[in-house]
Amino acid sequence: MLGSLIQLIILFFVVIDPLASFFVFYATSSKMAPKERHKTGLLAILIAVLLCFIVLILGQSLLELFSTTLDEFRIAGGIILIILGIKMVLGESLINTYDKKDSSARALASIIATPLITGPATIFTIIIASSDYGKMMTGLAVGIVLLITAMLFLLSNKVKKILGDTATQVTTTILGLVTLSWGVKLIILGIKNIF
């Protein structure tokens, strides 16, 4: 059970990518006062938690609502993971941070919460993981990764100084390769189950 939990935590760490979310958050909130930045970070995490747990609870019902199967969703999600992984490996920005600097705290929190933290890849991964590992273990893994993300947001000034730009790019590239491999794995599994 502990092995499965660790595997899920790693999976959600890769999919949610707290470091990418942190650096987008840091760049877009750089002009905010520390108190306002903390408030914005917490709001983003609360929105992400709410979205994640709605998907966790409704999971399979959402698939039925849209008339799709888990394996079809696996293939679609795998494609999304591959695209996300390629962007990460090539160092492309997930969203244009320069356009968001003057956004209000609420708008910025919403942008960080979704699509950055709780994007399509996170949503489909929650649905699949809850089917494969159960809702309790999936919820625990997601909660742990969101807690790590919240800690990064709250300690943003210190974390930025410690990590630096080079370490961030190297980490993002490695996580991008892992994301690519998960995408390929899900597509193969979905195709194998359909045929």
Domain ranges of the chain: 21-194
Q: How confident is the model at residue 147 (pLDDT cuts 50, 70, 90)?
A: very high
pLDDT higher than 50, residue 124: yes
Q: Under a CB-based contact definition with an 8 Å cutoff, are residues 145 and 44 in contact?
A: no
In one letter, which amino acid is 130? Answer: S
Q: Under a CB-based contact definition with an 8 Å cutoff, are residues 138 and 56 in contact?
A: yes
> Which pLDDT value is given to residue 9?
94
Largest CA distance in the chain: 55
pLDDT higher than 80, residue 172: no
Residue 97 has φ and ψ, to the nearest 5°, of -70, -25
Contacts of 57 (CB under 8 A, 6+ apart): 135
Query: pLDDT of 19-65, one tens digit each?
Result: 878 877 776 676 677 788 888 889 999 999 998 999 999 877 877 78
> Which residue would you say has higher pLDDT here, 144 or 175?
144
Q: The tokens 């919403």 sit on which residue?
A: 110
> Which pLDDT value is given to residue 160?
65
pLDDT higher than 90, residue 140: yes
pLDDT higher than 50, residue 102: no
Q: What is the rounded average pLDDT of the residues 1-19?
A: 88
pLDDT higher than 70, residue 192: yes
State the pTM of this model. 0.69
If we measure between CA atoms, which residue out of 50, 24, 74 comes closest to residue 143?
50
Q: The tokens 């090539």 sit on which residue?
A: 90
Q: What is the rounded average pLDDT of the residues 159-181?
A: 74
Q: What is the rounded average pLDDT of the residues 160-167?
A: 70
Taking CA 43 as the corner, what is the angle to CA 39 and CA 49, rounded to the nearest 5 degrees?
Answer: 145
